[in-house]
């Protein structure tokens, strides 16, 4: 008889989201990347701390790096604690990195992290988007559409 499997997480546990990214950029493609973390960084993220609001990704030396993300020091980390805003390496396949680098260099696109989460196996992952910046008119359109959808919801609730 087979040994029972350990229960896995039902859904991913979101730690940090960059909600502003969907407003500031046109999202073209989304990639899932692993992230290299130290022990205290993992513990800090598991407690739900961390921010990627001002973060971006860049490709240096054939490797992808998450820059300016903030993972605060772990409260019980003593002298083994990490630096909160250090660059963190993202784990992607070589072909994906080459494709991202080509898009960034040729098309003028940006690598924007959308969220940091733990997947079903308990591994920390970053949802990375290849995006192009919006201009002011596009942002106004986005606001207009969002307000109209909110108003539609109100009307439907009132008239049921």
pLDDT the model gives residue 107: 87
pLDDT the model gives residue 81: 84
What is the C-alpha separation between 116 and 28, in angstroms, rounded? 19
Enter the pTM of the model: 0.78
Which tokens is 4 given? 């029972």
Residue 36's closest CA among 109, 107, 88?
Answer: 88
Counting as low any pLDDT under 70, the low residues of the chain are 1-11
pLDDT the model gives residue 9: 38
pLDDT the model gives residue 10: 35
If one counts every other C-beta atom within 10 angstroms of the C-beta of residue 39, the result is 12
pLDDT the model gives residue 2: 57
- Topology of domain 13-134, per CATH? Small Protein B; Chain: A; (2.40.280)
- Residue 78, judged by CB atoms within 10 A of its CB (0-12, 13-18, 19+), counts as exposed
Residue 5 is classified by DSSP as P
What is the C-alpha separation between 21 and 114, in angstroms, rounded? 7
- 3-state secondary structure at position 157: helix
């Amino acid at each position: 008889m087979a040994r029972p499997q350990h229960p896995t997480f039902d859904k991913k546990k979101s730690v940090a989201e960059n909600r502003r990214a969907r407003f500031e950029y046109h999202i073209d493609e989304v990639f899932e990347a692993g992230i290299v973390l130290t022990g205290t960084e993992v513990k800090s993220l598991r407690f739900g701390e961390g921010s990627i609001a001002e973060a971006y990704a860049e490709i240096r030396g054939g490797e992808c790096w998450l820059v300016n993300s903030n993972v605060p020091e772990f409260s019980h980390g003593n002298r083994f604690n990490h630096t909160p805003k250090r660059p963190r390496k993202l784990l992607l396949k070589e072909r994906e990195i080459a494709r991202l680098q080509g898009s960034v260099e040729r098309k003028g696109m940006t690598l924007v992290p959308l969220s940091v989460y733990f997947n079903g196996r308990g591994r920390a992952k970053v949802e990375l988007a290849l995006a192009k910046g919006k201009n002011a008119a596009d942002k106004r359109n986005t606001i207009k559409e969002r307000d109209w959808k909110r108003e539609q919801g109100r009307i439907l609730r009132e008239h049921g």
